[in-house]
Chains A and B, each alone.
Chain A
Amino acid sequence: MLNYIIKRILWMIPMLIGISLISFFIMHLAPGDITNNEASFNPKASEESRQKLREIYHLDKPIIVQYGLWLKRMVILDFGKSFASHQKPVFWQTQDKDGNITKGMIQEALPITLMINLLGLAITLILSIPLGIIAARHHLGWQDRSITLFNFVGFSIPGFWLSLLLMYWLGVVNNWFPISGLHSLNYESLDTWDKIKDTFAHLFLPVVIPSITGLAGITLFVKNGMLDVLHQDYITTARAKGLNERKVIYTHALRNALLPLITIIGLSIPGLIGGSVIAETIFAIPGMGKLFYDAVLMRDFPVVMGILTIGSALTLVGNLLADVAYAWADPRVRRGVAR
């Protein structure tokens, strides 16, 4: 098992290099660079100054040379500095000689996105597992049908539309929840308990809305997993030996039905850091989605590459974790790996 894990980790290195190479070239396929942004389309800004910027950022060099420079920095895990934010570090904070700390862009955005997505995933799981079980137990019954209907309505409603409606209803008309932002303006002066309350109030809409729209997928997974398992012989055996339905469902069936969820959760790890551009824009949350989207529009290559690299590394780690967790949970898989 350990051998297997080590082998998988070593394999990740060439894969990451390959991914970064392809990403780097695809990123450069889009026309334009940082000097083409909308603010620089100003008759007062001269072409010479844009050319000078291009030289400073090595954008005048061939792409393969630029990739080499990037890779050279990446070897010592230096993600570089953003073009668009005037040399803000892309990943982690730096300290100048006077001890002033400049925080990294991903360092600032990642915890926010992670918190929102983890809370969202938790809510989705907490709601979808029971819903899936109920739907499977009452397959084709009214419970099943209403759950399916609810899920698909949630799945089909555009998140931004629902967000704006709820922001209006809960924020403007009723003043129950804050409309946008992560904290109130007086956050710094609150005591700890009020700070927590304030944060949760601000997080309510951004967390709950994507969870509702994301409910459909996992509920269906759980339901179908349950349905499969409920038709297995060992369930018939369990029922035949007179176990009560509760025990059959929750002890025998559920544990096996949840196995595919491990894969899903493993695959959702890169999504956890991805963040949603639309939700982050509407709710004014400075997370990863907005950071990446803005970086692409501005052609801020170090930021784009930084996020893509971290994202792909996490995808690979997520896959590995899912496989390992699978092996841990399912003896059949474990035997396969050991062989």
Chain B
Amino acid sequence: MHTTQSTLVASFIKYAFITLTVLLVTSCSSQSDSTSSNKNLHDQFAPESGGTLINAMTGEPSSLISMIAGESASSAITSNLFNSLLKYDKNLEIEGDLVSSWQISPDQKTITFKLKPDLKWADNEPITSADVLFTWQAVTDEKTASPYASDFLLVKNAEIPDPLTFKITYEQPYASALDSWAGLQILPKHRLLGQDLHTTTFSRNPIGSHYYKLDNWTHGAYLKMSRNTLSVLGPAKIDRLVTRIIPDNSAQFLELMADNIDLMGLDPIKYARIIPSRPELQDKLALYKELGNSYTYMGFNLKHPPFDDVRVRKAINYAIDKQEIIDGVYLGLGINIASPYKPGTRWSNPSLTPYPYDPDKARALLKEAGFTDTNGDGILERNGKPFSFEIITNQNKEREKSAVLIQRRLKEVGINVTIRSIEWASFISRFIKTGDFDVVVLGWGLGLDPDQYNIWHSSQQAPGQFNFIGYQNSTVDKLLEQGRLELDPDKRMKIYHEFAQVLLNDSPIVYLSAGYGLTAIHQRVKGIDTPSPPAGVGHNSYDWYIPQPLRRNEMSVN
């Protein structure tokens, strides 16, 4: 009795599974029907304005006042709403944003900015130098507690001789001054005077000056922006921007596949494997890759022996196969670097080459440093102590995988490595701040200015500062100090080229890779520069357009 019943159940389930599989397969094959409007996706269209661009991000901004927010979600939105005095052009050279010109005094201490005339905030009030002075006062105010205050605290004196002139004087020449002003978004004084920037409702309902203005921010769902007709830089082509908040990357990708969003950042697997294997996605998505301003590295705690020995550091550098990490972890979507600057920019020294993968050289250097395998267990020893250390990293899949590949390569030269992955806040406060680590795998995201004083200068080693690996080199100290005082770009370039060379030779960190930023944009969006200029694919997003026939049903997005 029981046996017949269970066979019945089993065959029923088998039947159900087959039906389900058949259903899935048939529905998959019929999916191209739903995208029948794709036929003219690749036609040529003249630029026209209108339409809505929908993108997505994983986090929600904490505030739309970027001087206190700090996270990328916030700057992704505010960069459409606010202008700075200066900005970077598509070749990453500084040009005026709100200002028409600026002048540096002969002693290099005073900078005079001239605002463009007749600028308006989105509420039709004029933009004047008083707004700029107000913004400077706000960012340096103790109560604001802006993480970026230090750049602006160097300004000794700021004055506004007339409504279009803003004049600042530094104690001594500050080379990163222009870069810092390109990063400070100017806020409207008439809206914010006397308010606490942390509690003001302006941070959720801002008035700006850029191409777009914020219409609606629905918590946890989306931010909607529409064209600012008073934009100081003229009109953008696309009428409306909608940014949806979708925390999960896979869900975002499903939305992209279903045509519900137009643009998203990709990881290497989606870029190199998933999209190329699906013709319908390849047809409707354009893929872009560009070098980002960040790199992954393995850093030694230079206060812990044997990492105080440059031969050991070099040996480990030779023993790690960086190309293997780029191919295995980033699916080839990264490059090998030899200096802490974005390759192809002025600051990156083209004469430097990365340490090649050379295990024999590594073994020789380790031997020279006194490491030999005395007991024949495959692990090197010095003074009877086996060479063994722990790599720590935060919970980041790519960094964890890189650490595993490093572990294997170091094992081959006789070094025993263990790996520990730790949640971010604990990682920083328990290990990095206390200096209680041997080796870290981490990344640096860098600005466009070459000054890296905070990371490499020997004075920056206190707990909470950024030279946590304890790097100390008097030549580098001197170069970094010089670089901060030198405003002439060509002289500065020489200084930082030399700095990168000393750094490479000292090998306090092993550069693992600089990954590409990967983006997919729906083919309905036209006017995108290819190949991307150094400033990236989004540099001219105000010039992007969506031709009428390719737009979504506008009713569905308003």
- 10 A/B residue pairs, CB under 8 Å, sorted by A: A30-B426, A32-B426, A39-B70, A39-B72, A49-B148, A172-B31, A186-B558, A282-B251, A283-B251, A286-B219
Assess the B244–A181 pair: CB atoms within 8 A: yes
Chain A residues with CB under 8 A of B199? 86-87, 96, 102
Q: How far is the CB of B295 from chain A (nearest CB, A)?
A: 13
The answer to whether A37 and B425 have CB atoms under 8 Å apart is yes
| Contact present for A286 and B220 (CB under 8 Å) | yes
> Within the complex, what minimum Cβ distance (angstroms) separates A58 from chain B?
14
Cβ B250 vs Cβ A282 within 8 A: yes
The total of chain B residues at the interface (CB under 8 A) is: 78
Contacts of A115 in B (CB 8 A): none
User: Which residues from chain A contact B255 at a C-beta distance below 8 Å?
Assistant: 179-180
Contact B248 A284 (CB under 8 A): yes
CB interface residues, A 210-237, toward B, < 8 Å: none
A186 and B221 within 8 A (CB): no
Query: With contacts A32-B425, A47-B462, A179-B255 known, is A42 near B70, CB below 8 A?
Result: yes
**Is B12 an interface residue when CB atoms closer than 8 A count as contact?**
yes
The answer to whether the Cβ of B68 comes within 8 Å of any Cβ in the partner chain is yes
Q: Considering the complex, which residues of chain B in the window 189-246 have a beta carbon less than 8 Å from any beta carbon of chain A?
A: 198-199, 201, 203-204, 216, 218-222, 224, 242, 244-246
Q: Which residues of B contact A (CB under 8 A)?
A: 2, 5-6, 8-9, 12-13, 24, 27-28, 31, 34, 54, 60, 62-63, 68-72, 142, 145-151, 183, 198-199, 201, 203-204, 216, 218-222, 224, 242, 244-248, 250-251, 254-255, 257-258, 260, 423-426, 428-430, 444-447, 452, 454-455, 462-466, 555-558
> Measured between C-beta atoms, what is the minimum distance from A149 to chain B in Å?
7
Q: Which residues of A contact B258 (CB under 8 A)?
A: 171-172, 175, 179
CA of A30 to CA of B444, assembled, Å: 25
> Is the CB–CB distance between B203 and A86 below 8 Å?
yes
Q: Which residue of B lies closest to A49 (CB)?
A: B147
Output the least CB separation between B503 and chain A (Å).
15
Chain B residues with CB under 8 Å of A56's CB are 145
A-B pairs, top 6 by smallest CB distance, nearest first, are A286-B220, A32-B425, A45-B147, A32-B429, A47-B464, A31-B430
Q: Which of A242-283 contact B (CB under 8 A)?
A: 280-283
Q: Which residue of B5, B27, B31, B246 contacts A284 across the interface (Cβ within 8 Å)?
A: B246
B145 touches A53 (CB 8 A): yes
Assembly CA distance A169 to B558 (angstroms):
27
Contact partner of A175 (CB less than 8 A), chosen from B34, B204, B423, is: B34
Residues A149 and B149 in contact, CB atoms below 8 Å apart: no
A44 with B464, Cβ < 8 A, contacts A36-B428, A173-B27, A297-B424 known: no
Query: Are A102 and B429 in touch, CB under 8 angstroms?
Result: no
> Is there an interface contact between B244 and A142, defined as CB atoms closer than 8 Å?
no
In angstroms, Cα B260 to Cα A281, docked, is 18
Whether A185 touches B424, Cβ cut-off 8 Å, given contacts A180-B251, A282-B248, A284-B245, is no
- A183 at the A/B interface (Cβ < 8 Å)? yes
Any chain B CB within 8 A of the CB of A84? yes
Decide if B5 touches A40 in the complex (CB within 8 Å): no
Q: A50 contacts the other chain (Cβ, under 8 Å)? A: yes
Contact B13–A46 (Cβ < 8 Å): no
List the A side residues contacting B71 at CB < 8 Å: 39
Cβ contact within 8 Å between B248 and A281:
yes
A189 to B557: give the CA distance in the assembly, Å: 10
Cross-chain contact B9 with A185 (CB below 8 angstroms): no
Question: In the bound complex, how far is the Cα of B13 from the Cα of A140, in angstroms?
Answer: 17
With contacts A45-B70, A108-B220 taken as known, whether A299 is within 8 angstroms of B425 at the C-beta atoms is yes
Give the residues in chain B near A96, CB-CB below 8 Å: 199, 201
**Beyond known contacts A47-B463, A284-B248: 6 more, CB 8 A cutoff:** A37-B425, A140-B2, A164-B250, A172-B254, A182-B220, A283-B251
Determine whether the beta carbon of A183 is less than 8 Å from that of B221: yes
Judge if A3 is at the interface, Cβ distance under 8 Å.
no
**A 71-93 binary contact with B (CB < 8 Å = 1; else 0):** 00000000000001111000000
Q: Is the CB of A167 closer than 8 A to any CB of chain B? A: yes
Question: How far, in angstroms, from A290 to B220 measured CA to CA in the complex?
Answer: 10
Tell me the complex Cα distance, A300–B271, Å. Answer: 35
Q: Please, how many angstroms separate the alpha-carbon atoms of A299 and B430 in the complex?
A: 14
Taking beta carbons and an 8 Å cutoff, which residues of A are in contact with B? 30-33, 36-53, 56, 84-87, 96, 98, 100, 102-103, 108-109, 140-142, 145-146, 149, 164, 167-169, 171-175, 179-186, 188-189, 280-286, 290, 297-299
How many Å lie between the Cα of A185 and that of B52 in the bound state? Answer: 12
Does A179 lie within 8 Å of B260, measured CB to CB? yes
Contacts of A49 in B (CB 8 A): 145-150
B198 touches A87 (CB 8 A): yes
Please indicate the chain A residues that have their CB under 8 angstroms from the CB of B245 in the complex: 284, 286
Per the bound structure, the CA–CA distance linking A161 and B91 in Å amounts to 44
Beta-carbon contact of B198 and A86 below 8 Å: yes
Check B145–A52 contact: CB distance below 8 A. Answer: yes
Known contacts A44-B148, A185-B556; A173 and B452 CB within 8 A of each other = no
Rounded to whole angstroms, the CA-CA distance of A315 and B27 in the bound complex is 45
User: In the complex, how many angstroms separate the beta carbon of A166 from the nearest chain B beta carbon?
Assistant: 10
- A106–chain B nearest beta-carbon distance, Å: 12
Specify which chain A residues have a CB less than 8 angstroms from the CB of B31 in the assembled complex. Answer: 172-174
A48→B145 CA distance, assembly (Å) = 9
A98 proximity list for chain B (CB < 8 A) = 201
For the complex, give the distance between the alpha carbons of A38 and B429 in Å.
Answer: 12
Question: Of B219, B220, B242, B429, which is within 8 A of A185 by CB?
Answer: B242
Q: Which residues of B contact A142 (CB under 8 A)?
A: 5, 8-9
Q: Considering the chains assembled together, what is the distance between the CA atoms of A49 and B148 in angstroms? A: 8
Contacts of A168 in B (CB 8 A): 254, 257
Whether A43 and B466, one on each chain, are in contact in the complex, defined by CB atoms closer than 8 angstroms, is yes
Question: Out of A36, A172, A174, which one reaches B424, CB within 8 Å?
Answer: A36
Question: Which residues of the partner chain A approach B68 to less than 8 Å between Cβ atoms?
Answer: 86
State which of B5, B6, B429, B446 has its C-beta within 8 Å of the C-beta of A36.
B429
Residues of A within 8 A of B254 (CB): 164, 167-168, 171-172, 179-180
Query: Bound complex: CA of A184 vs CA of B260, how far in Å?
Result: 10
For B72, list chain A residues within 8 Å (CB): 39
